[in-house]
Amino acid sequence: MNIPFVNLKRMHDRFRNEIDEAVKSIIDSNNYIMGKPVEQFETGFAEYLGVKHVIGMSSGTDALFLALKVLNIHNGDWVITVPHTFIATSEAITMAGGKVVFVDVDKKSSNMSPTKLEHYLNSLDAKSLKKVKAVIFVNLYGSPEDLDNIYSITKKYGIPLISDAAQAHGARIDNKPITDFADLTTYSFFPGKNLGAFGDAGAVGVNDSEKADKLKMIRNHGRTEKYIHPVEAFNCRMDTLQAAILDVKLRYLEDWNRHRIKSAKLYNTLLEKKGYDTPTLDEKYRRVFHLYVIRVKDREKIITDLGNKGVSTGIHYPLPLHLQPAYEYLGYKKGDFPACEKLSEEILSLPIDGTITEEEIGYICNLLPDYK
């Protein structure tokens, strides 16, 4: 059996005619920048999420960058995030002019540890604490676990919180939108995401109308109307063509998310029988399983064996950010973030998407050795 990591083709084949129609309508309209399709997608996605405003962007990285800019990050301001994420999270901090500061994750949730964040903030003297101008929490693998607890801490310290939901479209906490638990929430529509474009795209979700207006202005050359620019800014607009495609795919997002959750449950049932410690599923945190990640022993052998039987896997992520050559200048060393380092050695991502079948999951689980 051949099981790709994400089967985009099978997904798109199911509504290919709707996509073709959407693309055709953009070509017929001859309007490729901004306009109604972008507004329509923003309104639809805001309704889906349960947030007041969605502002379409050119990518998830740019969404983070502009969220930081709206918070006026500049001139070496400290921004705290985790070393266990895709580099875009920390890159955006540097792009905005801030300084990257890492805090370790929790071993079980894989997300920023509230205890470690609080411990770090408590360890700072008053002058250093003043330098901390934002925290970016990452809803890794689609899980918002502890976002609410991190938000309580950042509110207590008066530090704004950005929630990187690049992997978490539709995640909820206590049945409330995760956008209620941060000052700004950013999304990526990279093709393989739970909601993916046919290229790069992203968005910011925000309840504060002033921040929304500012985001709309700075994503589009700082303009308020044609050729009127109160500020110099950036070009981080969402392509009209991507918006039209995303609007079609948005109709299916909730079904795909439900399918992902059901698939994760089946994985858990089959893998627990083999002794694996599986991802948590509970009522409080609605995880949307962008990735289904387990910890394994003898990872290289498992990857090769599964690959030989047609199953693609991934590692998210194999080298923690604080140990990346790009961040050598920050002066971190091995051993600084033990939970993240241990995870990076043991984690393995198995195929999951909105269409994976029970038969495929059974096939994959059969191939995995017992965990002992």
Ligand X SMILES: Cc1ncc(COP(=O)(O)O)c(C=O)c1O
Helix (H, G, I), strand (E, B), or coil: what is residue 164? strand
- 247 binding ligand X? (CB under 6 A): no
Nearest distance in Å: CB 71, ligand X: 17
The answer to whether residues 141 and 371 touch, using CB atoms and an 8 Å cutoff, is no
- 143 binding ligand X? (CB under 6 A): no
Rounded-to-integer distance, Cα 139 and Cα 199, Å? 22
- 263 binding ligand X? (CB under 6 A): no
- 60 binding ligand X? (CB under 6 A): yes
Amino acid at site 295: R
End-to-end CA distance of the chain: 26
The per-residue b/e assignment along 256-285, b for 16 or more CB within 10 angstroms, e otherwise, is bbebbbebbeebbebbeeeebebbeeeeeb
Interface map 89-128 toward ligand X (x if CB under 6 A) = x---------------------------------------
- DSSP code for 228: B
Nearest distance in Å: CB 357, ligand X: 25
Of 197 and 248, CB closest to ligand X = 197
- 292 binding ligand X? (CB under 6 A): no
Of 164 and 360, CB closest to ligand X = 164
Of 239 and 360, CB closest to ligand X = 239
Work out whether the CA dihedral 355, 361, 367, 372 comes out positive or negative. positive
Interface map 70-89 toward ligand X (x if CB under 6 A) = ---------------xx-xx
Interface map 202-241 toward ligand X (x if CB under 6 A) = x---------------------------------------
Nearest distance in Å: CB 312, ligand X: 18
The per-residue b/e assignment along 2-35, b for 16 or more CB within 10 angstroms, e otherwise, is ebebbbbeebbeeeeebbeebeeebeeeeeeebe
Q: Which stretch binds ligand X (CB under 6 A): 58-66, 96-104, 204-212, 333-341?
A: 58-66
Rounded-to-integer distance, Cα 181 and Cα 292, Å? 24
- 164 binding ligand X? (CB under 6 A): yes
- 59 binding ligand X? (CB under 6 A): yes
Q: What is the size of the binding site for ligand X (CB under 6 A)?
A: 15
- 142 binding ligand X? (CB under 6 A): no
- 182 binding ligand X? (CB under 6 A): no
Neighbours of 362 (CB within 10 A): 13
Q: Which two tokens stand for residue 250?
A: 């948005």
Residues forming the site for ligand X (CB under 6 A): 59-61, 85-86, 88-89, 138, 164, 166-167, 188, 190, 200, 202
